[in-house]
Structure 1
Amino acid sequence: MTIRLRGHHLLCLLGYRGMGYSDDFCTNMTIIYETLRTSPHTEVEIVIGPDDVCKAYPPDKAYHCEGTVYGLDAAVLAKLGLSANERDSWQSICSRVAATMVPEDISRLCTTCPWEKYGVCSEGVGLVVNGQPLPKVGS
């Protein structure tokens, strides 16, 4: 199984705690998150543009998957030393996060994200940096 992810979703997944745009979106995001959390050897393919998370974005909301997030994707990939079409395990991507990031990077990279204010992504980066596991959704 390969999960296709765009740059900024690599960090969103670290902070995912069950919040999202709709029930369908949360169901999809929870499946992806729990797959990666419980099977860290799962292969991730880095993509440009809409990915496996975007496919469940609610049709009644303003669709941003093709908009301003491309710059954030590029910034995250540059920070992690990753590029489009690269494939690696989730565990290896988390190791890159641990080696290249600090929790405060989220507030610098994700200034336009509506979820940044909750602090969950910074918390997730902190867990990875400290070698701690990501929590089960809902715990």
Structure 2
Amino acid sequence: MIYLRPHHGLCIQHFVGEGYSQDFVDNMKSTIQVLENTPNIEITLVPASDNICSSCPNNNQGICLSGQKPEDYDKSCLSLCNLNFGDVIQWKEFKQIVQKNILTQDKLSIVCKGCEWISICQGFYE
């Protein structure tokens, strides 16, 4: 089982190898590899620290030092995808829902407003 903050479904699809630290980058690559190699794996959508956060330098014992922003990203993602915290879903299905309801609808800037990495993600569509 992979625990995933909803907005990380967007981050994963745009990841290019940059991040907060080398530990974070390595963990992100490892998580993406597991998800992409086992698309039927179940993920649980969580409102706090997840598998990706585990190696983030902004993670202080499960509390994100980035403040309210990640929570807002999660809530926007869930709302646009008609999902809820606690939902258990296969990675491939979650990925498709995010693509259909956010990425192909050009709503990334709505969900990720104020994210320091958004320029990387938006570069995918230029």
Normalised-by-shorter TM-score class: 0.7 to 0.9
Q: Distance in 2 between matches of 1:18 and 1:24?
A: 11
Determine which of 101, 111, 114 is the counterpart of 2:113.
Answer: 111
Output aligned runs, 1:37-116, within 5 Å: 37-58=36-57, 63-64=65-66, 67-101=68-102, 102=104, 104-116=106-118
1:29 aligns with 2:31: no
Q: TM-score, normalised on structure 2?
A: 0.84
What code does the residue aligned with 1:11 have? L
Identity of aligned residues (%): 26
Q: Could you say what secondary structure the match of 1:45 adopts?
A: strand
User: Size of the alignment, in residue pairs?
Assistant: 121
What code does the residue aligned with 1:116 have? I
Deviation readout 1:19-68 (Å, 9 max, x if unpaired): 1100100111111111111211111100111111111112699822x533
- Cα distance change of structure 1 residues 100 and 73 upon mapping to structure 2, 3 Å threshold: same
- Quote the residue 1:20 is aligned against: 19
CA contact (8 A) 1:57 1:63 kept: no
CA contact (8 A) 2:49 2:59 kept: no
Q: Distance in 1 between matches of 2:70 and 2:57?
A: 17
Q: Distance in 2 between matches of 1:60 and 1:12?
A: 17
Q: TM-score, normalised on structure 1?
A: 0.77
Poorly superposed stretches of 4+, deviation over 6 Å: none
